[in-house]
Amino acid sequence: MYATAFRPGPIEEEPVAARPPAEEIIWMRPDRSRPAPRAALSREQIAAAALAVADAEGVDAVTMRRIARELGSGTMSLYRHVRTKDEVIDLIVDAALGEEDRPAGPSGDWRADLHRLAEAKRAVMLRHPWLARAAAGRPALGPNALASTEYALAALAGRGLAMEEAARVINTLNAFVTGFVQTEVEEAAWRRPPEEEGDGGGGDWRERTLPYLQQVLDSGRFPHFTRLVNEAEPYPDTGEAFAWQLRRVLDGLAAAVPE
């Protein structure tokens, strides 16, 4: 999801025989939907079915066979549109990123624009808990990912930043959001107040951890950690924590963005 992933490096002329086929990646290939009246399958339908499976069961449950079953289609029919599971993941990552709630264009206040973009990314990643892990480090070349990056670059345009510096600003913001949400999602699976746990809660982690934690506190070896345990909120508001940390990230980035 990083801006530097968009730059392939200097383009040099190669012998025609050495060049890869022109349709190597999915975004370069046309969507081969079947015209009516034959049963239609489209790239969009495949993405929607795969997205539903990922949301319900996790991205590891997304397989060609499972998507075909969800669509009532033969597995081989999918290969008209996608060649591999990795291409399916590209599709659903981009489909999810298309849900970002951001303005059509920047406001002129780069900090407010990037703040809103970060919040929009977090909201989408929480809606699709698999997304932060699946998107991390993946080249973001789909149309929705490109639109998101274009928005961020436009927010920074005209401020005297070299494109490499603008990319670093965006990458720093993306790394913060992705890392925060990955931790937030994983912790949500086990660290919940007792009243929110229900039948399948994470109370067992307390039963396993509390005896050890009490032993650590009683040892006197970690006075600052002991104070943290005794004084900090045991179930902090993650939204509030995200907002606080995001402000600090933007404070730091402000030093690199000329006013």
Q: Where does the chain hold its CATH 1.10.10.60 domain(s)?
A: 3-96
Sorted by sequence, the CB contacts under 8 Å of residue 225 that are 6+ apart come out as 216
Residue tagged 């996608």 (tokens) = 82
Whether the pLDDT of residue 16 is over 50: the answer is no
Give the model confidence (pLDDT) of 199-229 as tens digits. 555 556 777 788 899 999 999 999 999 999 8
pLDDT given at position 37: 43
pLDDT given at position 195: 58
Q: Comparing 102 with 29, which gets the higher pLDDT?
A: 102
pLDDT given at position 208: 79
Closest of 248, 258, 259 to residue 115, by C-alpha: 248
Strongest mean pLDDT among 39-53, 142-156, 208-222 = 142-156
242-to-109, 155, 238, 256 alpha-carbon distances in Å: 20, 21, 6, 22
CATH architecture classification, 3-96: Orthogonal Bundle (1.10)
Q: Where does the chain hold its CATH 1.10.357.10 domain(s)?
A: 98-190+237-254
Asked if CATH classification 3.20.20.70 holds for the domain at 98-190+237-254, the reply, yes or no, is no
Chain centroid offset of residue 224 CA: 34
pLDDT given at position 210: 84
Whether the pLDDT of residue 40 is over 50: the answer is yes
pLDDT band with cut points at 50, 70 and 90 for residue 187: confident
pLDDT given at position 111: 97
Q: Comparing 188 with 66, which gets the higher pLDDT?
A: 66
Query: 22-31, 47-56, 96-105, 246-255 — which is least confidently predicted?
Result: 22-31
The whole-chain average pLDDT of the chain stands at: 85
pTM above 0.75, yes or no: yes
pLDDT given at position 256: 94
Determine the length of the chain.
259
pLDDT given at position 192: 66
- Residues 155-174 have a mean pLDDT of 96
Give the model confidence (pLDDT) of 68-101 as tens digits. 999 998 889 888 889 999 999 999 999 999 999 9
Strongest mean pLDDT among 23-27, 138-142, 198-202 = 138-142
pLDDT given at position 232: 87
Measured CA to CA, the distance from residue 116 to residue 152 in angstroms comes to: 10
Whether the pLDDT of residue 198 is over 80: the answer is no
Measured CA to CA, the distance from residue 4 to residue 162 in angstroms comes to: 13
Whether the pLDDT of residue 8 is over 50: the answer is no
